[in-house]
Amino acid sequence: MLWIRLGVRELIKNRGFSLFFILNLSIGLAGFIAIHSFGRSLNRHLEDNLKEILTADLVLSANTDLTPGELHLADQVLGPDTTRARLISFYTMVKAGENARLIKVMAIDDPYPLYGEFALEGRGGKQEIQEWPGVLLTRDTAHALGVDKGDDVGTDAKMPLVLGRKTFYVHDFFQEDPDRSLTALELAPKIYMGIKQLEGTGLMGFGSRIRYYYYYRLGPGVDVPALTGTLRRAFDEKHQGQPRINVYDTRDVNQRLGRVTRYFTGYMGLVSVVALFLAGIATAYLFRGYLNLKQREMAVLMSIGATQWETALYMGCQLILLGSLAAVLAVMISLFLVPVFPFIFKGLIPDHLSLHLDPATIGLAVGMGMAGSLVFCLPVFVRIFGVKPLILLRGSREGGQRTLGRVLGQVMSFLPGVLAFSLVSVFVAGSVKNGMVFVAGFALALAFLGGMGWLIFSGCAYLSVTRNLVMKIAFRNLFRNKWSSLSCFVTIAMGAFLISIIPQIQKGLQTEIMRPEGLKIPVFFLVDIQEEQKNPFIEFMARKDADLINLSPMVRGRILTVNQKPFDGENLSQGSGRPRSGQRGRGRGKRLEFNFSYRKSLDDSETIVQGRALSETPWDFEAFVPFEISVEASFAERYGLSLGDIMGFDVQGIPMEGRVVNLRKVRWNSFQPNFFLLFQDGVLNDAPKTYLAAISQVAQEARQDLKNAIVNAFPNISVIDVTRMAGTLLTITDRLSLSIRFMAWLAIAAGLVSIFSIARHGAWKNANQVNLLKVLGADFNVIQGITLLEFGFIGFTAALFAVLLSLVFSRAVSWYLFDSLWEFDLLGSLVILLLTTGICMATAFMASRKVMNTKPVTLFSNTFDPGEI
C-alpha cells in the first residue's frame, strides 16, 4: 500500500503529465468503445427484429408462381398449424397526372404481413384494397409522385395513379413499411395494392421480371431450421436436384444483414484500432519523459532499501491508475460519440435504431485501459530494471552499461504490444485473414513513415547550417530530439494518411459512376420490352429526339451441369464442378436460373480477357458439337468456370450443351444491357424472349416528357432513370466516406493530443534555452518562430508523406476492390496538407505558450516544474 500511496501522490504532484496521459489514451479508447457499441446495438436490433424484418418464420420464393402440387408439398412438410400469406413483387412504371416514375409494386393478400403491421394514418384498414383499386404508400412517395394534395384519402380525393391499363387511387398512407430491410435506400419507392387488383393491369406478361413469395408463420415451439432443411430436401427430390424454389428463414436474413453490418463497422473498427495505437505511441513517449524525470527519485528509493521490483510496482501502480481513469473518461466521451452515428449513417441503417453503450465492450475497454497503459509503456518500463542508484546519484542518465540481456529484454518488451495489436485487429476485422492483412498493411505504412521521418530529422543537421537564427535553432532541436520528433511525425502522418486515402478512392468511384472513361452513360435503362413490341418501339424512338442503343434480347434459362456434374448454384472450385471446401452454404443461396443473351459483336463496355471471340457463324441445331459461350470473368471466378468447360442448360424446356470459349470483363458501371453469359449466334434467336435497351442523348428538359410518352405508348415497359440511380450510388459513397472520415478525424484527434503532449514536454526541456535566449536579448517573435517552425515542419512533412503514401495504398485498394476505379484528388490532398500543417503549428504554440511567457529569472532559480505546465 505504501507504494500505491506514493504513486498517487506523485501523479497529483505531476498533474500536467497525468492529465495528458489520461486524455491521450481516453481518445483512442473512446473510438473503440463507440464503434463496438454501435455495432453491437445494430446486431442486437437485427436479432430482436428478424421475424419482423422477414415478416414470417419461413419464406418460399420463385420467379414463377408455385403450382398447387408444390404448395401441397409445403403444407405437408410444415403441418396444419400454419398461417400463409402471399406477395407478388415487381418493378413497373406508374403515371400520376402527366408524370411517370418507376415504382416497386407489392401486391399482397389480406394476411400479409404475418409479423409486424402497417401503421396507417387513416381510419380504414388494409382489407379494402383487396376489393377496390386502392393503394397504400408513404407520404414521401406520394409527394414524389405529385399526389399528396391534402390529408384526405380515397376516391373522393381525386388522386389517380395509372398502372398499366388500370387506374388506382390512394387509399391510405403508412408511416412504417412492414417489408423492412437494412437500409432505407431502394431502387424505387414501394406501392402496396391488393393481389386481386393485378387483374386488368396487363403488367404480368411473358418475360416480366416478377417474384412470387409465400410467407409462413409456424406454431409455437416449432423447430424452424429443421423444417426449412426438410422442405429444401423435399423440393430437391421433387425437382430431381434442380429446385426452382428458394427456401429461407430468419437465419438467412441474419447472415445476410450481419455481413452488411460488418462492412459498415469493420473498417471503422480498424480505424479505431489505429487511433488507439497512435494514442499508445504518445502515452509511451509521455511516460518516457516522466520516467527520465523520476530516475533520481527511484535511485533514492533504491538507496534506502527498495528493490527494483518494488520500484517497478511503484511505477506500475501509477500506470494502471492512469489507464483506469482514461477508460472511465473514454466511456464518458463515448456517451457523446454514439448518438452521432445515426446522423452519419442516415439512410444506411434502420430507422429508430436504439443505440446503447455495450457493457461487454465497456468492460473490455476498461481492461484495455488498465493493461494497455502497461503494454504501450512496457518498452520504456523495462528500463527500470536497468537503473543503477550509484550511477544516477552521480548525475549519469545512462543507467548502466547495456548488456546482452538488457538489449534482449528491450526487444522482447515490444512483443506484447505487437501481439495485442494483432489480436485486437483480428477481433475487430472478424477474421484472421482480414486482420492479418490489415496488420501487414499497417506495418508497411508505419515502417515507411518511420523510415522517412528518421531520414528527415537526420537531415535537419544540414538544414541547421544557416545564419538564420530561427532556422538554425529549430532544425538543430529537431535533429537533437529525433525520437520525440519521430513520435510526433508518425502519429500525425498516420492520422493524415487515414484521411487522405479516402478522397482518392471516392473521387475515382464518383467519376466512374457519372462519367466512365471511354463510355457514355445512358439516360434511361429499359426493361421488359416484349418481342412483339420490338419493331413498334424502334419506330417510336425513331420519331423522338433521342438515341436507342443496345437493344438486347434476353432469354431466361437454367444451368443444369458443368462438365457432366450437377450445377447446384453454389461456389465451385476451379473447373471441378464441386463446391469449394468450406464454401458450401445451407442451400438458401442456390441459384440455377439466369438470363442469357446473344450479340454479333461485343459492346464497348466489354473486353475479352481470356480466350477467343465467339464465332460469327450461326450455330446449327443439327450439329453435334456444343455451341460457344462467353462468360463474364467475375461470374466464372464465383462459380469455378474456366475455358473449355462443357455446360448443360435447360432453355424453356429444351436441353442444350455449350462450351466456354472466352472470359469477358464487363464494366457494369456503364449501365448498358450486359449479361453474365452470352451464347453463340443462332442458339437463342428463335426462343421466346424479352428485350433490354438503353436511351442516350436526351436533353435534360425533355427527359420527363420522353418518359411519359413511353409509358403512354407501352405501359408494361419499365423505365429506370440511370442519372437518379447514379445519384443514389453517389449518396451511398458519400455517406460511407463521411463515416470513414469521422473515424479518421478521431485518429487525428489522438495525434493532436500527441502533438500537444510532445510540444509541452519539448517546451519544458527547452525552457532553459528559451530563457537563455531572453537573457541574451531575443524577442518574443524569434522564440515563437522557433516553435512554429519546428512543429510546422513536422506537420508539413508528415502530411506530405502521408498523402504520397495514401496515393499508393488507395491505388492498391481500388485495384483490389473497385476494379481500379481511382483518380487523384489534388484539391483534397492540398487541403489536408495545409490544414494539418496549420493545426500542428497552432497546437504547438498553445502548448508552449506558458514556457515562452516564463520570466528569465527561472533560469537562475532552477525551480521550473513541468508538472505545473
Could you write out the DSSP letters of every residue in 785-841?
HHHHHHHHHHHHHHHHHHHHHHHHHHHHHHHHHSTT-----HHHHHHHHHHHHHHHH
Rounded to a whole number of angstroms, the CA Rg of the chain reads: 34
Q: Is the preceding peptide bond at 113 cis, omega within 30 degrees of 0?
A: yes
In whole angstroms, what is the distance from residue 482 CA to residue 466 CA? 19
The model's confidence at residue 399, banded by pLDDT at 50, 70 and 90, is: very low
DSSP-derived pairing of the beta strands 524-530 and 246-249: unpaired
Give residue-wise pLDDT tens across range 723-747: 777 666 666 666 666 666 666 566 6
Is 410 a residue whose pLDDT tops 90? no
Q: Is the pLDDT of residue 572 over 50?
A: no
**Gap between the Cα atoms of 533 and 538, Å rounded:** 8
Q: Which residue has the higher pLDDT, 79 or 851?
A: 79
Average pLDDT over residues 138-165: 68
pLDDT of residue 553: 93
Using an 8 Å Cβ cutoff, are 636 and 572 in contact? no
DSSP run (H or E) holding 262: helix 250-293
Average pLDDT rounded to a whole number, residues 673-684: 92
How far, CA to CA in Å, does 749 sit from each of 50, 149, 274, 279? 38, 49, 12, 9
CB of 433 closer than 8 Å to CB of 477: no
C-alpha distances (whole Å) from 387 to each of 130, 308, 392, 401, 702 are: 87, 8, 8, 10, 83
- The answer, yes or no, to whether residue 631 has pLDDT greater than 90, is yes
Share of the chain above pLDDT 70, in %: 72
Residue 580 identity: R
Q: Concatenated DSSP letters for 781-798? A: HHHHHHHHHHHHHHHHHH
CA 294 to chain centre: 46
154: pLDDT strictly greater than 60? no
**Locus of grid cell 398449424:** 81
Distances (CA, A) of 657 to 82, 241, 614: 42, 18, 15
Tell me the C-alpha distance between 129 and 118, whole Å: 13
Angle at the Cα of 773 from the Cα atoms of 772 and 778, rounded to 5 degrees: 150
Q: Report the candidate in 193, 77, 78 with the shortest Cα–Cα distance to residue 135.
A: 193
Three cell numbers written together for 772: 537563455
| Comparison of pLDDT for 275 and 174, the residue scoring more | 174
Indicate the DSSP class of residue 615.
Answer: P
Give the model's pLDDT for residue 156: 43
Residue 577: its pLDDT value, please? 42
Q: Which of 33-42, 388-397, 670-679 has the lowest mean pLDDT?
A: 388-397
424 or 801, which is more confident:
801
In 3D space, the residue among 186, 142, 501, 177 whose CA is nearest the CA of residue 348 turns out to be 186
Q: Give the mean model confidence (pLDDT) for residues 157-177.
A: 81
Q: Average pLDDT of 341-362?
A: 69
Asked if residue 688 has a cis previous peptide bond (ω within 30° of 0), the answer is no
Q: Which helix (H) or strand (E) holds 637?
A: helix 633-639
Q: Taking residues 281-306, report their average pLDDT.
A: 72
User: Distances in Å between the alpha carbon of 405 and those of 70, 386, 413?
Assistant: 76, 10, 12
Distance in angstroms (rounded) separating the CA atoms of residues 606 and 632: 9
The answer to whether 381 and 374 have CB atoms below 8 angstroms apart is yes
3-state SS of 181-247? CCCCCCCCCEEEEEHHHHCCCCCCCCCCCEEEEEEEEECCCCCHHHHHHHHHHHHHHHCCCCCCCEE
Q: What is the pLDDT of residues 686-704, one digit of tens each?
A: 888 899 998 988 888 888 8
Residue 619 gets which letter from DSSP?
Answer: P
Can you tell me the distance from the alpha carbon of 195 to that of 176, in angstroms, rounded to the nearest whole number?
Answer: 20
Amino acid 780: pLDDT: 67
Residue 862 pLDDT greater than 60, yes or no: no
pLDDT of amino acid 866:
42
Nearest to 619 by CA among 532, 705, 694, 687: 687
Cα 514 to Cα 525, 723, 726, distances in angstroms: 15, 8, 7
C-alpha cell recorded at residue 237: 427430390
Q: For residues 140 and 101, what is the distance between their CA atoms, to the nearest angstrom? A: 14
Secondary structure of the chain: what % helix, strand, coil (to 5)?
A: 55, 15, 30
**Residue 583 reports pLDDT greater than 90:** no
Mean pLDDT along residues 401-414: 64
One-letter amino acid identity for 627?
A: F
Residue 108: the pLDDT is 92
Residues 589-602: tens digit of each pLDDT = 455 678 999 988 88
Least confident range of 210-224, 281-295, 319-333, 667-681: 281-295
Question: What angle separates helix 359-381 from helix 15-48, to the nearest 10 degrees?
Answer: 140
The three-state secondary structure class of 611 is strand
Confidence of residue 23 (pLDDT cuts 50, 70, 90): confident
Q: Say yes or no to pLDDT of 33 above 70.
A: yes
Half-sphere exposure of 299 (CA within 13 A, CB side): 21
**Residue 64: pLDDT band with limits 50, 70, 90:** confident
Q: What is the band of 858 on the pLDDT scale with cuts at 50, 70, 90?
A: low
- Looking at residue 589, its pLDDT comes to 46
Cα 624 from Cα 281, distance rounded (Å):
71
94-131: per-residue pLDDT in tens? Answer: 888 777 888 889 999 989 988 887 778 876 667 788 88
Better-predicted residue by pLDDT, 671 or 860: 671
In the prediction, which pLDDT does 554 show? Answer: 92
Cα gap 489→454, rounded to integer Å: 9
What's the pLDDT score for residue 390?
59
What grid cell was written down for 23? 486524455
Please state which of the ranges 13-27, 256-270, 690-704 shows the lowest mean pLDDT.
256-270
Question: In Å, how far are 287, 335, 669, 742 from 37, measured between CA atoms?
Answer: 30, 10, 35, 16
Question: Is 559 within 8 Å of 592 (Cβ atoms)?
Answer: yes
Instruction: Answer yes or no: are the C-beta atoms of 118 and 174 closer than 8 Å.
Output: yes
> Could you tell me the three cell numbers for 460?
535537419
How would residue 175 be classed by pLDDT, with cut points 50, 70 and 90? confident
SS3 387: coil
Mean pLDDT of 274-302: 72
Q: 43-47, 232-236, 625-629: which has the minimum mean pLDDT?
A: 43-47
pLDDT of residue 579: 40
Q: Which DSSP helix (H) or strand (E) runs through 713?
A: helix 703-713
pLDDT(646) > 90 = yes
φ, ψ dihedrals at 590, nearest 5° = -60, 125
Residue 341 parent element (H or E):
helix 341-344
Of the candidates 191, 39, 32, 16, the residue with the CA atom closest to the CA atom of residue 102: 191
pLDDT greater than 50 at residue 230: yes
What pairs with residue 82 in β-bridges? Answer: 218
Q: How far apart are CA 830 and CA 837, in angstroms?
A: 11
Average the pLDDT over each of 102-106, 254-258, 845-849 and give the range with the smallest value.
254-258
d(CA 821, CA 823): 7
Cβ atoms 108, 87 nearer than 8 A: yes
Helix (H) or strand (E) segment spanning residue 94? strand 82-96
Candidate from 388-397, 421-430, 496-505 with smallest mean pLDDT: 388-397
**Mean pLDDT lowest for which of 42-51, 158-167, 251-260, 784-793?**
251-260
Rounded to whole angstroms, how far apart are CA atoms 61 and 744?
42
Give the chain's end-to-end CA distance (angstroms, integer): 29
